[in-house]
């Protein structure tokens, strides 16, 4: 298979930041898309609202913690892109069990449903599973370090997905995005947090630690990595880093965002935003060699270009944010 055109695909977590971008890309490529969205009684569909009433995307409401509902959603699909997860690191300190239930048990439900349906699985990991880099750039062989309840739950989810490859020969690929950013991202992440404050006219930008470095990947590049992984037989049973191979400190990133927004704001460290001692991940820098060699994927959008596009989107959607309020 070298195309997803005409194939039936399911995206879990489809209404979110990366999920909705992936749905758009799949629709553009001619896939028959089913979207599993978290059930809400008011039927709001987030970034998928434009597809309500259309024939391009079939909406299925549910929860990955419910094995029966997951099984119904996966039935008849050729490929499942599993993105549904609890992702906020600060909230994982407050509600760790919720992360186990959604991220680990939810992944088990999705993998079991894929096995029953004969569907291949592209499972979403995170660079947070590596913890602070012991060696850099980070390859897929880097030790896994659970420095937060969130990262621990994602390590468990990754291993659960891969166990279905080893035990049952389910076609599974684990994609491990490094810090994805871009339009539609919520203020729980650092880039929209900074931009929303800037575009609201703040004279000070309040942040946690300024020294950690991150490898930021634009959201369309990440979504393209998901597609490349799904289309590559060589990627079955493998873990693939999706990152640019470049890093930037949070303090320097803030300065670039201030410039992109045309602001003169100053950066102030806010103690309430600091992670607990021993939990801060000081450095994340990807080695994407494996993804390039097995799938042909490579990032295309530069950080400068991506920050400008993201800044413009936040400015145009400022009413979706609460500038100045720290969102756990």
Handedness of CA 221, 17, 91, 308 (dihedral sign): positive
- 242-263: b or e for each residue (b if 16 or more CB lie within 10 Å)? bbbbbbbbbeebbebbbebbeb
Catalytic residue, candidates 150, 164, 181, 218: 150
d(CA 96, CA 22): 28
d(CA 170, CA 163): 9
The question of whether 218 is a catalytic residue gets the answer no
Query: Per DSSP, what are the bridge partners of residue 33?
Result: 9, 57
| CA distance readout (Å), 20 to 35, 50, 151, 289 | 9, 11, 23, 27
d(CA 224, CA 121): 16
C-alpha Rg value of the chain to the nearest Å: 19
d(CA 154, CA 314): 29
Q: Which residues are catalytic?
A: 150
């Amino acid at each position: 298979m070298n195309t997803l055109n005409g194939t039936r695909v399911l995206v879990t977590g489809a209404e979110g930041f990366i999920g909705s971008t992936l749905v758009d890309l799949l629709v553009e490529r001619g896939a028959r898309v089913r979207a599993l969205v978290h059930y809400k009684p008011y039927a709001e569909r987030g970034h998928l609202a434009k597809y309500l009433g259309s024939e391009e995307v079939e909406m299925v409401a549910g929860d990955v913690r419910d094995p029966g509902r997951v099984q119904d959603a996966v039935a008849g699909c050729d490929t499942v892109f599993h993105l549904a997860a609890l992702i906020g690191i600060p909230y994982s300190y407050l509600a760790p069990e919720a992360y186990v239930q959604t991220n680990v048990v939810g992944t088990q439900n999705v993998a079991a449903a894929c096995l029953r349906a004969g569907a291949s699985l592209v499972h979403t990991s995170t660079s947070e599973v590596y913890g602070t880099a012991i060696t850099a750039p980070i390859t897929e062989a880097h030790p896994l370090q659970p420095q937060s309840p969130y990262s621990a739950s994602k390590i468990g989810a990754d291993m659960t997905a891969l166990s279905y490859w080893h035990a049952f020969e389910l076609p599974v690929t684990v994609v491990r995005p490094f810090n994805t950013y871009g339009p539609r991202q919520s203020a729980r992440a650092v880039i929209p947090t900074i931009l929303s404050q800037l575009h609201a006219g703040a004279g000070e930008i309040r942040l946690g630690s300024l020294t950690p470095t991150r490898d930021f990947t634009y959201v369309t590049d990440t979504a393209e990595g998901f597609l490349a992984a799904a289309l590559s037989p060589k990627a079955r049973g493998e873990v693939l880093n999706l990152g640019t191979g470049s890093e930037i400190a949070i303090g320097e990133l803030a300065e670039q965002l201030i410039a992109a927004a045309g602001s003169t704001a100053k950066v102030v460290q806010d103690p309430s935003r600091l992670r607990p001692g021993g939990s801060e991940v000081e450095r994340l820098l990807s080695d994407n060699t494996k993804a390039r060699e097995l799938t042909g994927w490579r990032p295309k959008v530069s950080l400068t270009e991506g920050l400008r596009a993201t800044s413009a989107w936040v400015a145009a959607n400022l009413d979706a944010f609460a500038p100045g309020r720290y969102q756990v």
